[in-house]
Chains A and B, each alone.
Chain A
Amino acid sequence: MALTLYALIQTAVLCTNALAVLHEERFLSKLGWGVEQGVGGFGDDPGVKAQILNLIRSVRTVMRVPLIIVNSACIVLLMLFG
């Protein structure tokens, strides 16, 4: 299997897109993975589920604008060069 750096970049963009489209109200809250369930006890140790929810929320917040730019660039490049 020949993995190139380009494949890695594609994988990263696709995974980040997948994390960014998880909608807060319509999906995550119904699953019990909403924002209010993430910050559990204010004790020391967050726990795995809280960390995952934190990660999803921060990816959504931070990567929204860069993802728009990167996706537009990918669309244009794929249209031009196939």
Chain B
Amino acid sequence: MDLPHQGYRATKSRARAAPPPAGSVLFEDTSSTAPAMNSQGYYTPGYDMQGASSDMQGGPGAGNMFADPMANAAMMYGSSLANQGKDIVNKEISRFMSVNKLKYFFAVDTRYVLKKLLIIMFPYTHQDWEVRYHRDTPLPPRQDVNAPDLYIPTMAFITYILLAGMALGIQKRFSPEVLGLCASTALVWIIIEVLVLLLSLYLLTVHSDLSTFDLMAYSGYKYVGIIFTVLCGLLFGSDGYFVALAWSSCALMFFIVRSLKMKILTSISSDTMGMASSAKPQLRLYITVATAVFQPIIIYWLTSHLVR
């Protein structure tokens, strides 16, 4: 966990003059201010406390918050406790999932989000579907429009839940439990889809670089189509719902097939180059097509009860 810290500080100290080294490609600062961050710079909640406590430790009596020295001591103790707790939580979390890998998926900006939404809803004119690499690591979404991200799926999921609540409210079938039920149903379907995809990729020994987060990203992109479908259903009635369903199904199927084709079908199989294994490309094609066909089914399943 030390390397991203150093890369981050190095970027900061050079003030974005030269291209940053490969380790810190993610953390190029696009904001205009360059605050003087301390060593745990991007854990922002603790920043103020640390600044305040270091001030109090540095100058004797310079800028004391309270007149009562007991309160000062208590505040310093509390802030050090909070820092310890924060360190422990970070250590535990980084044992289960790599936080750095997660940060890669949230390194987005507005231009990327707009372009990606356009590609999801209208993928037919997009030419180049290759995910670009930078010295063996994939480029973050900020610099490569084909890279999967987790920002759009997360936001789309939350928007879908809110839209579902609104749709049910319009039909006068709303109650707070229904919202939680809708959220957990959608979440369970995502988990099922990711698990089935992981299982099938494992069984067919497809050595692609699709990680769990990549699969979560690709199966979360359908929520953009779902939102579009529900909106059209609410605005234009049942006909609009079916038209939008057909449109977003086709667009999503095309998008998934083109995106996964690069990663699954052309991945380096462990076969020798000589054997033209005829079974393998077929099975991989089946996986890609099955994933694509699953999208319209789940879109219909998750939205039909919202638009009667």
If A4-B181, A51-B203 touch, whether A44 touches B271 (CB-CB below 8 Å) is yes
Q: Which of B187, B203, B270 has the most CB of A within 10 A?
A: B203
Number of A-B contacts (CB under 8 A): 41
In the docked arrangement, what's the CA distance between A5 and B186, Å?
A: 10
**Which of the residues A3, A44, A47, A55 comes within 8 Å of B188, measured between beta carbons?**
A3
Which residues of A from 7 to 46 have beta carbons under 8 Å from B? 7-8, 43-46
Closest to B178 in A: A2
**Which of the residues A4, A8, A48 comes within 8 Å of B203, measured between beta carbons?**
A48
Asked if A52 CB lies within 8 Å of chain B CBs, one says yes
Contact-residue size bin, chain B (C-beta under 8 Å from the other chain): 20 to 34
In the docked arrangement, what's the CA distance between A80 and B299, Å?
A: 39
> Is the beta-carbon distance between B188 and A45 smaller than 8 angstroms?
no
Closest to B199 in A: A55
Closest to A48 in B: B203
| Interface bits B226-263 vs A (CB < 8 Å: 1, else 0) | 00000000000000000000000000000000000000
A–B pairs, 26, beta carbons within 8 Å: A1-B185, A2-B181, A2-B185, A3-B185, A3-B188, A3-B189, A4-B184, A4-B188, A5-B184, A5-B187, A7-B188, A8-B188, A8-B191, A43-B272, A44-B270, A44-B272, A45-B269, A45-B270, A45-B271, A45-B280, A46-B205, A48-B204, A51-B203, A51-B205, A52-B203, A55-B202
